[in-house]
Amino acid sequence: MIKFIEQEPYSPIAHTYEVEKILHKEKSKFQELTVIQNPFFGRMLLLDGIVQITDRDELFYHEIITQIVMHAHPEPKRVVVIGGGDGGVVKEVLKHKSVEKVYFVEIDEAVIRVSKEFFPSVSEKVDDPKVEIKVMDGAEFVRSVKNIDITIVDSTDVIGFARTLFTKEFFDNVKNSMNSNGMFVTHTESLHFHKDIVIEMQENLKKVFPVVDLYTQCIATYPGNWWAFAVGTSGLDPRVMRHPFEIETKYYDDEIHERLFVTKKFYKKLINRELKW
Ligand code: AG3
């Protein structure tokens, strides 16, 4: 059987996956897209040779990047999703009846198209009437919008070509696009391999958002398997749920919500750079 070796560009590690079939390969204006079939994970979407989602474990990422802020916000109505061309985050957002509008901002139309073809159940909601698809740079989009309740960045690696989505200038624009209960979440790599990036992201967010926090989730296919998510809010504590858990999920629920956050003692030591590993 052919093997695909994912040499992690930013972590000292490589993963090897069996390839039953290469289902798709193309070069878009921005990146190389590949879809392979693996006996365990099912279909896998690779962007520039990096695993983004798999049939089997996408839910652990999509539920968790989305549902924490969606439940911490009192009534999310207007949501911006940046990246996430596979539609997994959009699907999670639309589980909430309060949502009236989703701006789905993906720079690469090829990711949306290929996901619709090969991951139809992940991208099943991208053509919902509440969704407005914008094929453009998310950093540019946030400058033109107002009254947003939640902004979710579901990009490729923070260190790669998505780095404009992690600058203070971008965070300022996100903050300005939000109403008074606004919340922002983004993934920030692995605590095992990118401790400094995780800390830096918290520091940058703190320059802009009054409340900043950190939670993590295990993801089978990302380096270190211990993936970090940074939240910034206009004042509300994201550890608190502000409406009941009433949607259907496989993993996220009201018991896990607060448990996913790192402890306050650990957070303090981490941010003060007291921890060495
Ligand atoms: N976005 C984050 C993928 C990061 C993977 N990084 C890596 N393997 N180095 C996933 C997009 C899912 N909608």
**Where do the domains of the chain lie?**
2-54, 58-271
100 Ramachandran zone, left/alpha/beta (phi>0; psi -120 to 50): alpha
Structural fold of domain 2-54: Spermidine Synthase; Chain: A, domain 2 (2.30.140)
* Ligand 1 contacts CB of residue 8 (under 6 A): yes
Residue ID of nearest Cα to ligand 1 atom 8: 222
Question: Any idea which residue has 């204006």 for tokens?
Answer: 29
In the chain, which stretches have pLDDT less than 50?
Answer: none
10 Cα nearest atom in ligand 1: 9
pLDDT at residue number 85: 98
d(CA 35, CA 38): 10
Q: Report pLDDT for 10.
A: 85
Lookup: tokens for 168: 């203070």
| Residue 48 Cα to ligand 1 middle (Å) | 11
The pLDDT assigned to 130 comes to: 98
Q: Is the distance from the beta carbon of residue 189 to the nearest atom of ligand 1 less than 6 Å?
A: no
Query: Tell me, what's the pLDDT at 164?
Result: 85
Whole-number Cα distances in Å, 146 to 6, 79, 142: 40, 11, 8
What is the homologous superfamily of the domain 58-271 according to CATH? Vaccinia Virus protein VP39 (3.40.50.150)
**Topology agreement, domain 2-54 and domain 58-271:** no
Q: How many Å apart are CA 22 and CA 208, to the nearest integer?
A: 44
- Residue 154 known to be catalytic: yes
Residue 213 is encoded by which pair of tokens?
Answer: 């926090």
Q: Are 204 and 171 in contact (CB under 8 A)?
A: yes
Say what the pTM is. 0.97
- The one catalytic residue in 154, 157, 172, 253 is 154
CA of 97 to the centre of ligand 1 (A): 28
Q: Ligand 1 centroid to 46 CA: how many Å? A: 9
Q: Which pLDDT does position 258 carry in this prediction?
A: 98
Q: What angle do CA 147, 151, 155 make, to 5 degrees?
A: 150
According to the model, what pLDDT value does residue 162 have? 75
- Residue 261 DSSP class: B
Residue 158 is predicted with a pLDDT of 78
Q: Is 57 in the pocket of ligand 1 (CB under 6 A)?
A: no
Residue 20 CA: distances (Å) to CA of 25, 29, 32, 42, 251: 14, 27, 20, 9, 28
pLDDT of residue 1: 85
Q: Does residue 105 line the site of ligand 1, with CB under 6 A?
A: no
Pairs from 40-44 (Cβ < 8 Å, separation ≥ 24): 41/17, 41/220, 41/221, 43/118, 43/119, 44/17, 44/221
CA 59 / ligand 1 centre spacing (Å): 13
Q: 100: which residues sit within 8 A by CB, 6+ positions away?
A: 77, 78, 130
